[in-house]
Amino acid sequence: MSISQTITDFVTLAIQAGGWMELDRLYLQNRVLAMIGEESLETISPTVVEKTSLELLDELVDQAIKNEIIQQGSVGLEIFEAQLMDFLTPPPSVVNALFAQHYEKDPMDATNYFYKLSKENDYIKTRAIAKNIVFPAETEYGQLEITINLSRPEKDPKEIAAARQASQLNYPKCLLCMENEGYKGRANYPARTNHRIIRMNLDGESWGFQYSPYAYYNEHSIILSEEHRPMVISKDTFRRLTRIIEVLPHYFVGSNADLPIVGGSILTHDHYQAGRHVFPMEKAEIEQYFELNDFPLMNAGVVKWPMSVIRLQSPNSEDLVEAATLILEKWRNYSDEEVSIRAFSEDGTSHHTITPIARRKGHLFEMDLVLRDNNVSDEHPDGIFHPHKEVQHIKKENIGLIEVMGLAVLPPRLNDELQEVEKYLLNKENHIADYHKYWANQMKEVYSFNESNTKEIVQKEVGKIFARVLADAGVYKRTSEGQAAFKRFIDSL
């Protein structure tokens, strides 16, 4: 295909996206022409576009590299690609208006529109996400989901050096601020020219709805406060979560906890994560019901899950908010020394919070409340209820919202390391990491390995370790002592 055809087709897609009209064609073609370093264009009549937006983007970038406008692998390449894809992205006012038009038909129609746009304009990095290694793992808690995260691009040494030299600006304040919309990016900050945010009004407050560029599950989205303020779990949190599932009833929504160790990676900006995915925890059943005296119409129970989860169900969203608030306030002040649960340090530091997840089940509102405790000890300096030392060869990072629900996000190092473990198990030449050897030798005692079964066994055992990671993060262990302690807390409600 000639570069003139590529430009013509690219501009056709830009017009179809709704931000431009046919009258803008010559203007757009000349803008793209200049960006990629070409000086003239053959006149080609627009036809049905056979190629995807990403294929056309690649052709334009290749031409720009040939014309020495941009260098392959350079810091500016991501910025350049986002600026090209900005042509395929209507301005924020238009995106919001189109979202509203679709929403009038059906909320799912609106999210389908916005999700498709965010993939086609390369804001959601679909090709990078496809590199992730994903596999299921059967455990006593059902089928957990394991992801080895290979989607975030590795930075080369030149990029790291350039980022260090770059001025440390405080704009945008963080990756979740609304000021990211349309931001060019820089050496130490991602390009966001093609980024759009849907505005939401939650009880009179301005919030934004966007998709995650490096999604871990289907329609992985972020709902963020317009105000840059720290994460806080409160009655307002529970009310907002129920409002969000009223606005987007086909999505779940949850919040990371608001304390270090048990919280997510960004505690400085109030936000929630949502999406269209059924996580393993949602499939887990209530194994023991109990009554909340003040809420006679509510189902309440303990979920069969390695972490300590209370599930509430009610047709009345305000009852759900009030019950969740009662449990949060009780948990924030609750201690049980018999099982190392302490609400406060001697200096008054608070250690208890909740990871909440809300969803719709027909006419019912459902909320899971995961009890969290971020105390440390001499034996467990990383956290008493954090992955313990013996499982950190697989997972040592914080257990945030996504892991809590049963989807492991494991570090990229495991891609190569697990291959070396497999070689070790097959008695081949290998470079197994020392910290995997004890685990590998344990597997050798249990299994007979051959070429056809080794990968499957290793993946199954990784799943068991992830279940153990979640059990480590559970405040009430699934022992008779732990469950008796859990009952003491529930009786206090």
Mean pLDDT, the chain, rounded, equals 95
What does the pLDDT read at residue 263?
A: 81
Question: Quick one: tokens of 72?
Answer: 């392959």
Please report the pLDDT score of residue 334 as a whole number: 98
Residue with tokens 């529930």: 490
Which one has a higher pLDDT value, 46 or 162? Answer: 46
94-137 pLDDT, tens digit per residue, is: 999 999 999 999 999 999 999 999 999 999 999 999 999 999 99
Which residue pairs from 373-378 have beta carbons closer than 8 angstroms and sit at least 24 positions apart in sequence?
373/262, 373/341, 373/342, 373/475, 374/259, 374/260, 374/261, 374/262, 375/340, 375/342, 375/345, 375/351, 376/261, 377/340
Q: Where are the alpha helices (DSSP H) in 333-453?
A: 401-404, 413-425, 434-446
- pLDDT tens profile 452-491: 999 999 999 999 999 999 999 999 999 999 999 999 999 9
C-alpha distances in Å from residue 257, one per residue of 43, 133, 153, 210:
57, 27, 27, 20
Check: CB of residue 358 under 8 Å from CB of residue 241. yes
3-state DSSP assignment of residue 375 = coil
* CA–CA gap between residue 235 and residue 287 (Å, rounded): 27
Tell me what pLDDT residue 264 has: 77
Q: Cα dist. 210→58, 82, 124, 139 in Å?
A: 25, 16, 10, 33
- pLDDT for the residue 164: 56
Q: Inform me whether the pLDDT recorded for 159 exceeds 80.
A: no
Mean pLDDT of 268-295: 96
* Whole-number Å distance between alpha carbons of 283 and 303: 10
User: Is 290 strand, coil or helix?
Assistant: strand
CA distance 301 to 368: 10
- What percent of the chain is modeled with pLDDT above 90? 92
For the chain, the distance separating the N- and C-terminal CA atoms, rounded to the nearest angstrom, is 69
Judged by DSSP in three states, 362 sits in coil
Query: Does the pLDDT of residue 369 top 60, yes or no?
Result: yes
What is the band of 73 on the pLDDT scale with cuts at 50, 70, 90? confident
Question: Please, which residues have CB within 8 angstroms of residue 44's CB and are 6 or more apart in sequence?
Answer: 4, 5, 8
Nearest alpha-carbon partner for 371 in 420, 322, 319, 303: 303
Domain coordinates in residue numbering, the chain: 3-69, 132-152+387-473, 216-385
In this structure, are residues 314 and 297 in contact, taking their beta carbons and an 8 Å threshold? yes
* Residue 158 in tokens: 């030149």
Q: How far apart are CA 15 and CA 219, in angstroms?
A: 25
What integer pLDDT is reported at residue 151 of this predicted model? Answer: 87
| pTM, entire model | 0.94
pLDDT band at 349 (very low <50, low <70, confident <90, very high): very high
Burial class (CB within 10 angstroms; exposed 0-12, middle 13-18, buried 19+) of 53: buried
- C-beta of residue 260 within 8 angstroms of C-beta of residue 267: yes
What token pair was written down for 491? 């009786």
In this predicted structure, the answer to whether residue 1 has a pLDDT above a threshold of 90 is no
**Phi and psi angles of residue 372, each rounded to the nearest 5 degrees, phi first:** -125, 145
SS (HEC) of 220-251: CEEEEECCCCCCCCCHHHHHHHHHHHHHCCCC
Average pLDDT over residues 413-431: 97
DSSP letter for 186, please.
Answer: B
pLDDT in tens, 381-409: 999 999 999 999 999 999 999 999 999 99
What's the pLDDT score for residue 158? 58
- DSSP class of residue 336? B
Can you read off the two tokens belonging to residue 50?
């056979």
Matching residue, tokens 């997510």: 264
pLDDT band at 166 (very low <50, low <70, confident <90, very high): low
Is residue 413 predicted with pLDDT exceeding 80?
yes
